[in-house]
Chain A
């Protein structure tokens, strides 16, 4: 079971409280997790990745295991701790400043 945390704005859109738990078949990659997330919560399509290019939106970041995974290739395996549900895959809205 993969654990995903979402920023407050997206939790509200998806109508969920707290963490989201997802089943991900096959290799646990950033793309596989986001595909599973959007399949279960289609209202999130386009909010994390661009609808057309599937690229991460500029002010969204991916953290896990105290690492910034935002620039990792989408098909790279996520850390074992994420794949086994020990650690959450965190979708984070960048700090705006000001």
Chain B
């Protein structure tokens, strides 16, 4: 192991933090893509130097960036630096920014509509990429979860993107409706034991699973109970904030919902609430210890209208029993006057022993624990609001 690399996406650029295995001194590089919203950066498990990044802007739309040297240099796939920007036929490259929803092969018309705020049908409109999930085995294959909610895949290193339309084409697609934060597909979990199985989650629609590599999908929301929808136990419509799994036990899932922390022991077929003694079960992030499949982390947030920690105390809660019994982790975290949020993609764990845990806040702090959460220290303090945090252990 040569070191660790932390990939931090913020509202105004990306930052890369590096450290050796002691994890007590971090160097910060950045901002990369200064001024742009960096929703997510993630490295390929098959090639740690291959990193994908989602760069977006309310003004100028979506850009996909790729690094092949661990974040030292970046390019838009399809237009590497130094290469001609057009094909020999004179056609422009840079299809990497292009996310086009599938249409019906029979009619050429949109597959379906979704429900707009006023209840009317509304066409899908691409806005941005929330989450990039590289394949576990192939550096050139990467999935993108986008807003309006859909799943795209690239098999050529993000040069071109194609939708997996079975998800939107699921019978419930026309009833999906955006929440206040937009209708985004934000979680993509690839099953390490079954290449055909993928879990995804969509804000205000819920969780879905495919067992045939994306051709067909089923909602997996049985057991969820949401008071913000007319039928609290509906098949879809639940505002899932994040799902996490442990690699060794991909059938066990943990979920942070709009309210409620949930657990499934059967790959999402059914869910049970495990909020237990949490001070509030609202929140965004959830993650699982790298070596202990029953150790789970959440950051409780006061409520859906007050997106900050209860009592001004930033506390990570850890359960060593797979939920229900939770302990507050406070050592090194601010315990007064703290009113930041921790967004859904802004927590990560490393695979060292002891397990490292990292999270970023909307106040621009990045906190790290090198002892599985027992103690914490800020490793960056004045960044723009953190949107995502990922960690890589480098060979």
Contacts and interface: CB of A to CB of B under 8 A. Distances in A.
A92 to B, nearest CB: 10
A51 B97 contact: yes
Contacts of A7: 59
Contacts of A43: 63, 76, 79, 85, 94, 97
Interface residues of A, number: 25
A9 interface: yes
B55 to A, nearest CB: 9
A42 interface: yes
B85 A46 contact: no
A51 B98 contact: yes
A27 interface: no
A4 interface: no
Interface in A7-62: 7-10, 13, 38-48, 50-52, 57, 59-60
A45 B35 contact: no
Nearest to B100: A52
B60 A45 contact: no
A76 interface: no
B97 to A, nearest CB: 4
Given A51-B97, A51-B98, A46 B58 contact: no
Interface string B47-82: 000000000011111110000000000001001000
A8 to B, nearest CB: 8
Contacts of A74: none
A64 B90 CA distance: 28
Chain B contact patch, size range: 20 to 34
B86 A42 contact: yes
Contact of B59 (A9, A38, A51): A9
Main secondary structure of the interface of B (DSSP, over half): loop
A10 to B, nearest CB: 6
Contact of A42 (B59, B94, B126): B94
B93 interface: yes
A47 B60 contact: yes
B60 A38 contact: no
Contacts of A77: none
B302 to A, nearest CB: 25
B36 interface: yes
B179 interface: no
Contacts of B95: 45
A40 B92 CA distance: 8
A47 B97 CA distance: 9
Nearest to B55: A13
B240 to A, nearest CB: 28
Contact of A39 (B61, B90, B98): B90
Contacts of A9: 35-36, 57, 59-60
A46 B100 CA distance: 11
Q: Which of B61, B63, B86, B98 has the most CB of A within 10 A?
A: B61
Contact of B97 (A40, A46, A59): A46
Interface of B: 35-36, 57-63, 76, 79, 85-86, 90, 92-95, 97-100, 126
Given A42-B93, A93-B60, 8 more contacts: A9-B59, A39-B86, A44-B94, A46-B62, A48-B60, A51-B100, A60-B60, A93-B59
